[in-house]
Amino acid sequence: MAELGLQENEFKNPVVHWIDARLPVFTAMHKEYRQFPTPKNFNYFWNFGALATVNLAIMIITGIFLAMNYNPSTAGAFDSVERIMRDVNWGWMIRYLHVVGASLFFVTVYVHIFRGLYYGSYKKPREMIWMLGVVLLLLLMATAFMGYVLPWGQMSFWGATVITNLFGAIPVVGHGIVTWLWGGFAVANPTLNRFFSLHYLLPFIIVGFLVLHIMALHTVGSNNPLGIDVKGPQDTLPFHPYYTVKDSVGVCVYLIVFAILVFFIPHQPLLMDPNNSIQANPLQTPSDIVPEWYFLPFYAILRSVPNKLGGVVLLFGSIFVLFFLPWLDTSPVRSCRFRPIMRWLWVLFVIDVFVLGYVGANRPVGIFILLGRIATVWYYIHMLIFLPLVGKLERPLPLPESISKSVLGGGALPSAAAARPMEKA
C-alpha cells in the first residue's frame, strides 16, 4: 500500500488522509495527545504544566496586540501605553491580561517546580525534562524582566538600572558588559529598544524549548504521585479524553482567578507597582526600589551577602544549582510520600522560599538582615547537603507494588490513603 513512500494512516476523512500521508502531523497528534499512556493516578498538581502553557498562549496573543500600539522609545513609551489604556479599543483589557498574566505565569511555574521537587520528577529518567524546565524558567525570568522595563515607568527604569548593574560586579570585564548591555553609558533609549526586541523574541524561544520539554516528557513518560514506574497498561489511561477533560477543569478554575484579578483588582500593588504609574525620571530615585514579587526570593539572596560579587554569585547559583538536582538527590525513591524525612524538609524548603520572599520585600535592616542570611544558607544547605545526605540515611517507606494495585487499595499505605481525597476531587 505504501506507494511512492507515502505514509500509511487510518484516517477516514480523505483530506486528512491525504495530508497525513505526506505530512504525518495527524498521526503525531493522535499518538502524543490521544493515545499517550498517562498514569491514572494524577492529582490536580499535574494541571500546572497545562496552565503554564495556556498562560504562554495568552501572553503571546495579548503581547502581539500590545506591540501593535506600543512605541519603544524613551520619549514615547509611557504615553503609548497610556494610549493603549485609554483609547485603543479593549486596550485596557489587553494590557491588564498581559500584566496579570505575567504574575500568574510565575505562580503556575513555581507550583509546577515545587510539585516536581515533592514527587521527585527530576530523577532518572526525567533529568532532561527537568533541565529543559530550568532553561524555561531562566527564559521566563529574562522575558518578564525586560517586559517590565517597556512601559517606562519609575520602577521600569530603576529596576532595569539596579539589575543590569549587577553584571558590573563581575571582575575585570563587568563594566564593559554593563555598557554593552545598555548600548551606552546608562539605561536609555538604546536599552529600551533592545529590550523590546528581545522581549518580543524570547517568548518564541520559550515555545521552542517547551516543545523540547514535551518531547522529552513523551519519550520517557510522566511521573505520578506515587513516584513508581508504570508497570503496564492497567496503570495508565489514554491522555484523551481523561486528561484533556481534567486539564480543562483546571484551566476553567484558573481562568476564573485570572478574570477576578483582571477585572476587579488589576491595580493591586503586587500586580502593578504604583510607582510605575509615574513616568521614568533618571533624576529622581524612588524611595524603595522593589522588584516584582516573583523575583523577591532571589533579591533577598542577593542582598544577604555583604559583598556585591558574592551576592551575584549566590543569586545566579540559586537557580543554576537546580540543573544539578537530579544528581544531588541520591535517594532511589522519587515521591516524598515515601520519604519520611525529605517530605518535612520539603515543607521547610517551601517555607524558606516564602521567608526569602518576605525578606526581599523589606529593607535590609535589623532582623531582616539576619533572617535573610539564615534563609539563604538554608536554601543552599537543602540543595547541597540535605538532598545528597538524606537520600543516603533515610529509610523510605515500602513502595506499593504498582499504580493500579495502590489505586484499588492493594498494598495501600497510610500516606497514600491520606492523599486520596485530593486525587478524587
Partner 1 sequence: MRTLALAAAALGLALSALPAAAQETPPLPRVFWSFEGPFGTIDQAAAQRGYQVYKQVCSACHSMTQFHFRDLAGIGYTPEQIAAIAASVQVPGPPNAQGQSSPVPGKPADAFPSPFPTQAAAEAAFNGAVPPDQSLMANAFEGGPTYIYAILNGFRNPPPGITVPPGRYYNIYFPGNLIAMPPPLHDGAVTYADGTPATVPQMAHDVATFLYFVANPHADQRKRIGVHVVLFLVFVTGLTYALKRKVWSDVEH
Only segment of 53-61, 249-257, 334-342, 390-398 that touches partner 1 (CB under 8 A): 249-257
Interface residue with partner 1, options 363, 370, 411, 418 (CB under 8 A): 363
Pick from 77, 146, 210, 262 the residue near partner 1 by CB under 8 A: 262
Q: Please pick, from the candidates 201, 220, 260, 422, the single residue that binds partner 1 as defined by CB under 8 A.
A: 260
Site for ligand HEM in 196-215 (CB under 6 A): 199-200, 203, 206
Name which of 376 and 404 has its Cβ closer to partner 1.
404
Q: Are 419 and 246 in contact (CB under 8 A)?
A: no
Q: Which residue has the closest beta carbon to ligand HEM?
A: 63
As a whole number of angstroms, the distance between CA 161 and CA 148 comes to 12
Identify residue 23 by its one-letter amino acid code.
Answer: L
Q: Which does 59 bind (CB under 5 to 8 A by kind): partner 1, ligand HEM, none?
A: ligand HEM
Minimum CB separation from partner 1 for residue 215, in Å? 27
Q: Is 232 exposed, middle or buried (0-12, 13-18, 19+ CB in 10 A)?
A: exposed
Known active-site residue 218? yes
70 forms part of the interface with ligand HEM (CB under 6 A): yes
Dist CA 34 CA 206 (whole Å): 24
Nearest to 196 by CA among 56, 274, 315, 81: 81
- Applying CB under 6 A, which part among 9-17, 139-147, 160-168, 240-248 lies near ligand HEM? 139-147
| Bridge partners, 39 (sequence order) | 236
Asked if 150 is part of the footprint of ligand HEM (rule: CB under 6 A), the reply reads yes
Q: CA-to-CA distance for 148 and 146, rounded, in angstroms?
A: 5
Angle between helices 367-381 and 296-303 (to 10 degrees): 100
307-346 per-residue burial string, b: 16 or more CB within 10 A, e: under 16: ebeebbbbbeebeebbbbbbebbebebbbbbbbebbeebb
Nearer to partner 1, 229 or 423 (CB): 423
Other CB atoms within 10 Å distance of the CB of residue 288: 12
Q: Is 60 in the site for ligand HEM (CB under 6 A)?
A: yes
State yes or no: is 247 an active-site residue.
Answer: yes
Q: Which three cell numbers stand for residue 147?
A: 517586559
CB 154 within 8 A of CB 278: yes
Selected from 52, 99, 355, 390, the binder of ligand HEM by CB under 6 A is 99
Q: Which of 235, 273, 292, 352 is catalytic?
A: 292
Task: Give, for 136, the enclosing helix (H) or strand (E).
Answer: helix 127-149
| Active-site residue identified among 222, 304, 318, 402 | 222
Q: Which three cell numbers stand for residue 307?
A: 559583598
Q: Which residues bind ligand HEM (CB under 6 A)?
A: 56, 59-60, 63-64, 66-67, 70, 81, 95, 98-99, 102, 105, 140, 143-144, 147-148, 150-151, 199-200, 203, 206, 276
Q: Which residues bind partner 1 (CB under 8 A)?
A: 40-41, 79, 82, 85-86, 92-93, 96, 237, 241-242, 245-246, 248-249, 252-253, 255-256, 259-260, 262-270, 272, 274-275, 277-279, 287-288, 290, 293, 354, 357-358, 361-363, 404, 407-408, 423-424
Give me the active site residues, please.
218, 222, 246-247, 292
